[in-house]
Amino acid sequence: MSKLQPVRGTADLLPDVMAQHRLVIDTARRTTARYGFQEMATPIFEFSEVFSRPLGESSDIVTKENYSFADRGGEMLTLRPENTAGVVRAMISGGLTQSLPLKYFYAGPMFRYERPQKGRMRQFHQIGIEYLGPTDALADAEVISAGARLLAELGVLDQCVLHLNSLGDAASRAAYRAALVAFLQADESRLSDDSKRRLAMNPLRILDSKDPGDRDILQSAPQLQDYLNAESKAHFSALTTALDTAGVAWMFDPLLVRGLDYYCHTAFEFVTDALGTQGTVLGGGRYDGLAEMLGGPAVAGVGWAAGIERLAMLAGAKTPTAPTAPKVAVLSTDADADIAAFRLAEMLRDAGIDIDFPTTGSIGKKLKKAARAEIKLAIILGGDELVKNNVQLRNLADGTQSEVMMDDLADVVAAALLAP
RNA sequence: GCGGGUGUAGCUCAGUUGGUUAGAGCGCCAGUUUGUGGCACUGGAGGUCGCCGGUUCGAAACCGGUCACUCGCCCCA
């Protein structure tokens, strides 16, 4: 902490960037509400076990990736690395399993203790939805459609490809996993060092290894879809039929996997190549096993999450952010008029008009700054105007100026703002 | 946790084989204009050259360490 700087992997959201985030969040709230998802929030930290229990063997995540600490009472807490576990925990602790199905939308900061890189901060922000209760493939279809609709609303859907895969149910996955491990063990010596480790820890992850040698071996590896039982095949085909009906374009991606045991059936990601290595813009899937792993009843669930920073980078480039700064400024010409100008600014704000009221500099400086801030109308008030009970109303776009009586001012300004 | 690249003014960057007061553009402040903006001109403020140590008569420059940023790997719930 030698210099005063933000904690590694965190960043300030100044108004320019904040406006982009607002756009993403507001669009997502509106779009998911069209599907009946309602906004809720969970705490940004939980007992560590909420996040560690569902993870099983993937020790890297717990020890390396979680932002965990002990509080003063000695409780181990973790800043939420994602929101699904928290939402499911809220469902269990709140007894909400009595009111299924639940459709939730959330937005907020998440934390992972990782080496920062493009689009991966230690504090980042996500939006997401969770659909709790239904096991039907049509629920998956609604969730995916809501994601596609959000991307379309943001104007970025055409830069994304929907990758879709089925992991099958627990029995199908166990059978495939055994077959894959057997196949890879035969060639273990040729695997990359990373994949040798994955073979013991999380073999499905080898499927999306970036190592060329691994990819070569995988050419003849057993295929996940060949191990799906009838029920799993039916779920997937019902989903793809629904997506086709809704006009949601998708691409079958047999290498798209989820390593954790509570995942099943649907896995999907909207991927772009416009953001470097971190190409997933919005991703999710079905997690029917999660609630039980957290110690609750067996409640199915399906959902997705999306990084606000990544969406803002994509959408911000093409969607001009709505300027929220005032378009009208009240400028006093000298100190004697300041208090009257302040009162005038308040009166106009009472009338519902956004007012900028600069307090420093000469009238020339105030006008200069107002012009630079893209103020449309300057209301100039000085000794002469106080005597005559009027103001100078100057249009900074065309340089025209007129006298307006104080009593008419609010109406005149409101009308002028409506003009183009 | 591992590897590559980069750290000079608020921002974008120059800075010669190591040489004395470290520069530019933009931005900021002020003046030309004591009640009227954009342009122009003039002036000004602002830098422990990321930090610590070493080599040297002399370091922004060379060496080591460290911190930060950045790109990638691991991981990605």
> Same structural domain for residues A297 and A189?
no
Q: Which two tokens stand for residue A9?
A: 């992997």
Amino acid present at A322: A
Q: How far is the CA of A14 from the C1' of B10 (A)?
A: 15
Residue A1: pLDDT over 50 = no
Q: How far is the CA of A190 from the C1' of B25 (A)?
A: 56
Q: Name the nt closest to A394 by C-alpha to C1'.
A: B36
Residue carrying the six token digits 């509080």: A71
Helices (H), A128-256: 137-153, 170-186, 193-201, 212-218, 230-246
Q: How far is the CA of A43 from the C1' of B54 (A)?
A: 51
Assess if residue A5 is contained within a domain.
no
> Same structural domain for residues A373 and A285?
no
pLDDT, tens digit, 9 for 90 and up, residues A155-185: 999 989 999 999 999 999 999 999 999 999 9
Residue A57: pLDDT over 90 = no
How many structural domains is chain A composed of? 3
Assess if residue A270 is contained within a domain.
yes
Assess if residue A8 is contained within a domain.
no
Domain extent, residue A385, equals 328-418
The whole-angstrom separation of Cα A264 and Cα A247 is 24
Q: Name the nt closest to A61 by C-alpha to C1'.
A: B75
CATH number of the domain that residue A86 is part of:
3.30.930.10
> Same structural domain for residues A200 and A237?
no
pLDDT, tens digit, 9 for 90 and up, residues A327-380: 999 999 988 899 999 999 999 999 999 999 998 888 998 999 898 888 899 999
> Same structural domain for residues A250 and A347?
no
pLDDT, tens digit, 9 for 90 and up, residues A260-272: 888 999 999 999 8
- Within 7 A of a protein CB, which nucleotides of strand B? 1-3, 28-31, 33, 35-38, 48, 50-51, 67-77
Q: Name the nt closest to A285 by C-alpha to C1'.
A: B77
Strands of A67-70's sheet, edge to edge? A45-47, A76-79, A67-70
The whole-angstrom separation of Cα A396 and Cα A165 is 57
